[in-house]
Amino acid sequence: MIRAENLTKDYDHGLVQALKGVSLALAPGEAVAVMGPSGCGKTTLLSILSSLEPPSGGEVFIDGRPLAGYRPYAAFRAEWVGFIFQFHHLLPHLTLLENVMLPMDPRAPRNARRDKAALLLSRVGLADKLHSRPTRVSGGERQRAAIARALARDPKLIFADEPTGSVDTDTGRAIMEFVITEAKAAGVTLLVATHNPEVAALADRIVRMRNGLIED
């Protein structure tokens, strides 16, 4: 589903090399964890694979097709990609239901979007919090709502960048279990960046990074 070949990424006119020739492949429906210390290139790798940033060198293929062929990238992300971040980025003035509805295709009937959002929130254990605002639920519940939002447009790919970094260990494990369960149920390919070994152990496979490279 995803193949990266010899990715490099330079910043500050080449003074900083975030990626130094990274090659990686993920099969359809596979859950892969990328581990490594802060600054090793995990977030940069996810940003390039999801089209948020261009590489300085190398190439990304999605479903066998060069990523450049999916332009405009905003449309590619809307159709193909779900994101989960360390901080949930839910809009505080909207309810959880409204937050999950937000990325859905506005051309779809509102009732259909509402019903789908309610179903997704129910699947992540928030059926009783549909009309609560993010400030009125716990950190773990906010992250579960963010998972529901990531699934709102039936993505083929989910990129999760330190999705458990802002919660305690037990909550983090539960959140990661939710992410993997939902991704597997939907046949979604999942790439998770984390430095938490307990979180990484829940994935199908672990890839380790250091200093912009994948370790053998």
pLDDT band, residue 165 (cuts 50/70/90): low
Give tens-digit pLDDT for 44-89: 999 999 999 999 999 999 999 999 999 899 999 988 998 887 767 8
Is beta strand 157-161 parallel, antiparallel or unpaired with respect to 2-11?
unpaired
Mean pLDDT over 88-114 rounds to 92
pLDDT above 90 covers a percentage of the chain that reads: 54
This prediction has a pTM of 0.84
Domains and CATH numbers, the chain: 29-43+72-214 (3.40.50.300)
For residue 35, pLDDT over 80 is answered with yes
Confidence (pLDDT) at 61: 96
Give tens-digit pLDDT for 167-184: 677 777 777 887 788 788
Q: Output b/e per residue, 110-135; b: 16+ Cβ within 10 A.
A: eeebbebbbebbebbebeebbebbbe
Confidence (pLDDT) at 105: 87
* Rounded alpha-carbon distances, angstroms, from residue 212 to 21, 48, 167: 8, 13, 27
Confidence (pLDDT) at 154: 87
